[in-house]
Amino acid sequence: MNRRDSLRLFTGAAALAALAPARAFAQAAPPPPAGPFKLPPLGYANDALEPHIDATTMMIHHDRHHQAFITNLNGLVPKWADLATMPVETIMADPSKIPEAVRGPVRNNLGGHFNHTFFWELMTPGGAKEPTGDLKSAIDAMGGLAGVSDKVNAAGLARFGSGWAWLVVNKDKKLDVVSTPNQDTPLELGAKPIIGVDVWEHAYYLKYQNKRADYLKSWWNTVNWDKAGANFKKATA
Ligand code: MN3
């Protein structure tokens, strides 16, 4: 290409941009890298969990934090092809099977994708306000909902730095409370999650600042007990 041709191309592009600046601007944003991982949509509006979780936190948490895990995972697929085909649960149940060269980033980003997908589905603006059926019986046997939620909250408060607090069915098939650091999942403990709450600061800081205890207490109002019951049924099947 000679100088005159490149000038002509440039002039053409500039003219297009002047004609349709909004479109030109939109096209300037890089498209998300293609790949098998997709951000699952929230099943409700960003403000649907107000006042317990504010709309801005939900938007940033889902559209940016979760999207970052998806983007990173798609970037990791060329380095480890099995990532695209192996079930998430299989990989996260035994992260030692991930090739060492990509183990850290796969563990963090796939764990983040699993945990957040679980979290969005566990919350709802409507639905049952307390456990029912077999899950209710198991929670009652553990001291009732107030006692169990206190234990989960205590696990969340005791988690130094970032991580999650969980109500799980453990490897002995018993209801149990555990906490995991970073984006580790309960799966590698041989446990199946029933309830899980994100205690990373990004999950609550805009509204609750340093008051993690207030966030945890309020968060229980968002729990989708139908989903928790379904998780329990699957975990004990
Ligand atoms: Mn999070």
Mean pLDDT of 207-220: 98
Ligand 1 centroid distance, CA of 119 (Å): 9
Q: What are the two backbone dihedrals, phi and then psi, of residue 153, each rounded to the nearest 5 degrees?
A: -60, -40
Tell me the C-alpha to C-alpha distance, in Å, between residue 48 and each of 54, 57, 87, 232: 8, 12, 31, 25
Secondary structure of residue 63 in the 3-state scheme? helix
Ligand 1 centroid distance, CA of 1 (Å): 49
Q: What is the CATH number of the domain that holds 103?
A: 3.55.40.20
Q: Which helix (H) or strand (E) holds 197?
A: strand 192-198
Ligand 1 centroid distance, CA of 43 (Å): 17
User: In this structure, are strands 163-169 and 175-181 parallel, antiparallel, or unpaired?
Assistant: antiparallel
For 152, what's the count of Cα atoms within 13 Å in the CB-facing half-sphere?
29
Q: Is residue 95 part of a domain?
A: yes
Ligand 1 centroid distance, CA of 52 (Å): 15
Q: Is residue 91 part of a domain?
A: yes
What pTM value is reported for the model?
0.86
Ligand 1 centroid distance, CA of 215 (Å): 14
Whether the predicted pLDDT of 37 surpasses 90: yes
* Total number of domains in the chain: 1
User: Taking Cα atoms as reference points, which of 160, 152, 232 lies closest to residue 192?
Assistant: 232
Domain that holds residue 220: 53-237
Q: What is the pLDDT of residue 34?
A: 78
Ligand 1 centroid distance, CA of 198 (Å): 6
Q: What is the pLDDT of residue 126?
A: 81
For the chain, give the longest Cα–Cα distance. 81
Residue labelled with tokens 């005159």: 4
pLDDT tens for 93-117 read 999 999 999 999 999 999 999 999 9
pLDDT tens for 126-156 read 877 899 999 999 999 999 999 999 999 999 9
Ligand 1 centroid distance, CA of 202 (Å): 6
Q: Is residue 81 part of a domain?
A: yes
Q: Is residue 167 part of a domain?
A: yes
Q: Is residue 231 part of a domain?
A: yes
Q: Is residue 36 part of a domain?
A: no
